[in-house]
Structure 1
Amino acid sequence: MLHVVTAVIEHPDGTIAQQSREFGGFKRDYHALTNWLLDLHVELVVMESTDIYCKSIYAHLERAGIQAWVVNAHFVKHVPGRKRDMNDSQWLAVLARFGLVRASFIPPQDLRELRLVFRYRRKLSAMRASEINRLHKILDDGGIKLRGVVSDINGLSARAMATGLIEGKSIPALLDMARGWLKVRREDLQAALDGDPSARHRFILEHIHWHIEILERSLAQIDAYILAAMAPYQWAHRLLQTIPGIDQIVSALILIEIGDDMTRFGNADRIAAWAALCPANNESVGKRKSGRIGKGGSVIRYIMCECANSAWKTKSSLASKYKSLMVRKTHKKGHHRLGSQDDTADLPPLDTQNCVSRLAD
Structure 2
Amino acid sequence: MEKMRYHAAGIDIGSRKVFVGLEAQPVRSFETFTSDLLLLKNYLLEQKVNTVAMEATGVYWYVLYDILVEAGLDVWLVDGRQTRQLPGRKTDVKDCQWIQQLHSYGLLNRCYVSEGLIKELRSYQRLREDHLRSAAMHIQHMQKALIEMNIRLPEVLSQVHGVSGMALITAILNGERDTEKLVSLCHVSVREKKGVELRKALQGHYTAQGLFALGQAVKAYQFYQEQILECDRQIDATLQKINRDKQLPPATGGGQRKPIRHHKPQIDDLGDHLLKIFDGRDATKLPGFTDYNWLQLYSEIGSDLSKWPSEKHFTSWLGLSPGQHNTGKTKKSKSKGRPIVGQIFKQMAHGLLNSKHIGWGAFARRLRGRKGPAIAIKATARKLAAQYWRLIVKGTEFVEKGLAAYELIVNQQKKKRLQKLALELNMTLAPA
TM-score bracket relative to the smaller structure: 0.7 to 0.9
Name the counterpart of 1:212: 221
Report the Cα offset of residue 155 of structure 1.
Answer: 1.8
Once residues 207 and 54 of structure 1 are traced to their aligned partners in structure 2, the CA distance between those partners, rounded to angstroms, is 38
- Whether the 8 Å contact between 1:318 and 1:338 is mirrored in structure 2 is yes
- Whether the 8 Å contact between 1:153 and 1:159 is mirrored in structure 2 is yes
Report the Cα offset of residue 121 of structure 1.
Answer: 1.5
1:334 is aligned with what amino acid?
Answer: A
After TM superposition, list the pairs within 5 Å mapping 1:215-234 onto structure 2: 215-231=224-240, 232=242, 234=276
Report the Cα offset of residue 46 of structure 1.
Answer: 1.3
| Residues 318, 182 of structure 1: alpha-carbon distance in 2 compared, 3 angstrom cutoff | farther
1:307 aligns with 2:345: no
Name the counterpart of 2:185: 177
| Residues 81, 240 of structure 1: alpha-carbon distance in 2 compared, 3 angstrom cutoff | farther
- Whether the 8 Å contact between 1:82 and 1:88 is mirrored in structure 2 is no
Secondary structure of 2:76's aligned partner: strand
Once residues 84 and 165 of structure 1 are traced to their aligned partners in structure 2, the CA distance between those partners, rounded to angstroms, is 59
Once residues 257 and 212 of structure 1 are traced to their aligned partners in structure 2, the CA distance between those partners, rounded to angstroms, is 27
Name the counterpart of 1:248: 291
2:95 pairs with 85, 88, 92, which one? 88
1:359 aligns with 2:392: yes
2:300 pairs with 243, 250, 257, which one? 257
Secondary structure of 1:338's aligned partner: helix
| Residues 245, 225 of structure 1: alpha-carbon distance in 2 compared, 3 angstrom cutoff | farther
2:19 is aligned with what amino acid?
Answer: V
- Whether the 8 Å contact between 1:240 and 1:356 is mirrored in structure 2 is no
- Whether the 8 Å contact between 2:83 and 2:98 is mirrored in structure 1 is no
| Residues 183, 267 of structure 1: alpha-carbon distance in 2 compared, 3 angstrom cutoff | same
Secondary structure of 2:210's aligned partner: helix
Query: Which residues of structure 2 form unaligned runs of 5+?
Result: 1-15, 243-273, 395-432
After TM superposition, list the pairs within 5 Å mapping 1:141-290 onto structure 2: 141-169=148-176, 170-179=178-187, 180-231=189-240, 232=242, 234-236=276-278, 239-284=282-327, 288-289=331-332
2:137 pairs with 112, 126, 130, which one? 130
Once residues 199 and 190 of structure 2 are traced to their aligned partners in structure 1, the CA distance between those partners, rounded to angstroms, is 15
Name the counterpart of 2:412: none
Once residues 228 and 163 of structure 1 are traced to their aligned partners in structure 2, the CA distance between those partners, rounded to angstroms, is 33
Overall identity of the aligned pairs, in %: 23
Measured on the aligned residues, the alpha-carbon RMSD in Å equals 2.8
Secondary structure of 2:381's aligned partner: coil
| Residues 172, 87 of structure 1: alpha-carbon distance in 2 compared, 3 angstrom cutoff | closer
Query: Which residues of structure 1 form unaligned runs of 5+?
Result: 9-16, 345-350
| Residues 109, 164 of structure 1: alpha-carbon distance in 2 compared, 3 angstrom cutoff | same
- Whether the 8 Å contact between 1:278 and 1:339 is mirrored in structure 2 is no
Once residues 361 and 237 of structure 2 are traced to their aligned partners in structure 1, the CA distance between those partners, rounded to angstroms, is 31
Once residues 71 and 184 of structure 1 are traced to their aligned partners in structure 2, the CA distance between those partners, rounded to angstroms, is 56
Name the counterpart of 2:378: 336
Report the Cα offset of residue 173 of structure 1.
Answer: 0.8
| Residues 288, 201 of structure 1: alpha-carbon distance in 2 compared, 3 angstrom cutoff | same
Name the counterpart of 1:348: none
Secondary structure of 1:241's aligned partner: helix
- Whether the 8 Å contact between 2:167 and 2:185 is mirrored in structure 1 is yes
Once residues 145 and 72 of structure 2 are traced to their aligned partners in structure 1, the CA distance between those partners, rounded to angstroms, is 56
Report the Cα offset of residue 254 of structure 1.
Answer: 1.1
- Whether the 8 Å contact between 2:277 and 2:303 is mirrored in structure 1 is no
Q: How many residues align?
A: 342
Report the Cα offset of residue 47 of structure 1.
Answer: 1.6
Once residues 79 and 111 of structure 1 are traced to their aligned partners in structure 2, the CA distance between those partners, rounded to angstroms, is 38
Secondary structure of 1:256's aligned partner: helix
Once residues 284 and 381 of structure 2 are traced to their aligned partners in structure 1, the CA distance between those partners, rounded to angstroms, is 17
